[in-house]
Chain A
Amino acid sequence: MEAVTDNLDLYWSGFLRSLGICLWAMVGSLALGTVIAACRVSPVPALQGFGAAWVTLLRNCPLTVVLFFVAFGLPELGINASYYVFGVGALILYTSAFVCEALRAGINSVSAGQAEAARAIGLTFTQSLSTVVLPQAFRSSVPPVGSVIIAMFKNSAVVGAFGVGRDLYSLSERLTSSQGLSFIPVLTGVAIGYLVITLSAGAILALVERKVAIAR
């Protein structure tokens, strides 16, 4: 285990870097996913089509390919940024499609009778949305959206593997291939780092789920 203990500072910075990628991508993909979901459920056909195309393309494309097109396609369009930003950006684009679908599943899980009843007692459109439909949709979206975010945390390792992260994953590559350290301790350290992130995220999600759970 010397490989881990000797390089503890490297592990720590790699861990923080990975955590940073995860958190930025979480905020970004929740925001973008909500926008795309709003497009998909909007009454405007063009927006619906846009949302559907977005989801279809990104959900069926490997993250590695999305990463490539962000890192090498955007500069061709004249958009330059650091590779860290591109890495997080690609993760956000990819995850937004899954967040959108999880949110939509939440909205669809609210039965039409709820909205009909709300209108029947005279609530306006805004009232029925804000007091009846969306609160229920939001609560039933929590478990699927949470799972999507945890899956995204795991996908963040791909950003490092692509070469743009300098996170936990890249660290393992650096220690084993350039410095020739034995892989078992190095990768054990990296694996523990990721498990800390995903398992604690899972625990937090379980807590939140219990809080917002609704019996149907």
Chain B
Amino acid sequence: MSTSVLYDAPGPRARRRSRIGTAIALLVLGTLVMLAVLRLVDRGQFDYELWAPWIDPSTDEFPLVWGLVGDGLRATLVAAALAIAFSLVVGVALGTARMMLGRAGRVPVIAFIELFRGLPVVITLVIVWRFFEELDLDISALPGEDGLWYVVIGLTLYNSVIIAEILRAGVASLPRGQGEAAMAVGMTRWQVMRTVLLPQAFRVMLPALVSQLVVILKDTSLAALLAFYTELLRRGNLIAQNLDNPIQSLFVVGSIFILINYALSRVAVWLERRLSRSRGSDAAVKAAEQAVPAT
């Protein structure tokens, strides 16, 4: 924090004050945590029977529940991986179309982008799910269960639009001279886009893409609310119904989500640092990052 814009490097008095502040903060936080834990003990939430299936390998349930969680995690990861792959393809197509097409051609693209950017993801998922069910569209030829594809298609609709916007921000943040120089040597607009602008924009997009993967991973859990795909969270819910320990089971599931997403966001930060160090493209990376917040 020595480089903080808000204050100077602290002197002896400031350091003393900071130590006192730390002591008070720790005391307050510690007391709150203590009270919470005592209360939970009182309510029996730390009872051994509730936790045993998750932590005691000698119980019969232990291998079963972790096996099921493994299945759920695999289902979540598969859905997320497919969704990011499709989003990337569709998103790049949408983003490029938005930048390259003429005024009239752009209108439907923009309408599509604004529509799916404005809809809550959970609504998009319901629409996809009910639409396929109601119109009896046959997707059984696709590998995996139907539910997987509702998740993948729903998340792709939303995230491809986001990626299109990230791409556009990435291209817009490149120095104008890049495009102009390419034009000057006689390239067509399409050539400029394909050989000069997009490759640079991709580099810039990389951290934003990894952050978007965190968003997708979290959003797969919306399928648990609609109960059409048994991913990690729904696995947790079903296990909790068998074991009658919802708080404990959801604690395990939540921790898994947090660990994976934390690791991914560290990767995003690392990529960002590397990219902005190797090139002077810090501003471009920032622009791509900020095109859409990773909520």
Contact = CB atoms under 8 A, between A and B. Distances in A.
Interface of A: 41-48, 50, 56-57, 59-65, 68-69, 72-73, 76-78, 95, 98, 102, 105, 107-108, 110-112, 114-115, 119, 125, 129, 133, 143-144, 147-148, 151-152, 154-158, 161-162, 169, 172, 176, 182-184, 187, 190-191, 194-195, 198-199, 202
Please classify the interface of chain A as helix (H, G, I), strand (E, B), loop, or mixed, using the class held by over half of its residues: helix
Interface string B245-281: 0110010011001111110010000000000000000
A37 B4 CA distance: 13
A154 B259 CA distance: 25
A194 B118 contact: yes
Please classify the interface of chain B as helix (H, G, I), strand (E, B), loop, or mixed, using the class held by over half of its residues: helix
B103 interface: no
Nearest to A154: B120
Contact of A65 (B250, B293, B294): B250
Given A154-B121, A158-B122, A60 B214 contact: yes
B22 A45 contact: yes
B255 to A, nearest CB: 9
A183 B130 contact: yes
Contact of A45 (B18, B118, B250, B259): B18
B57 to A, nearest CB: 25
Given A60-B257, A69-B250, A156 B221 contact: no
A69 B255 CA distance: 12
A133 to B, nearest CB: 6
B214 to A, nearest CB: 7
A50 B25 contact: yes
Contact of B295 (A64, A98, A119, A157): A98
Contact of A73 (B25, B247, B295): B247
Contacts of B258: 56-57, 60-61
Nearest to A68: B250
Contacts of B265: 59-60
A112 B22 contact: no
29 contacts: A41-B1, A41-B4, A44-B18, A44-B21, A44-B25, A46-B25, A60-B258, A60-B262, A61-B258, A62-B222, A65-B221, A69-B250, A76-B40, A76-B45, A77-B40, A78-B39, A98-B293, A119-B8, A129-B6, A133-B6, A143-B290, A152-B295, A157-B120, A184-B131, A187-B127, A191-B123, A195-B115, A198-B118, A198-B119
B123 A62 contact: no
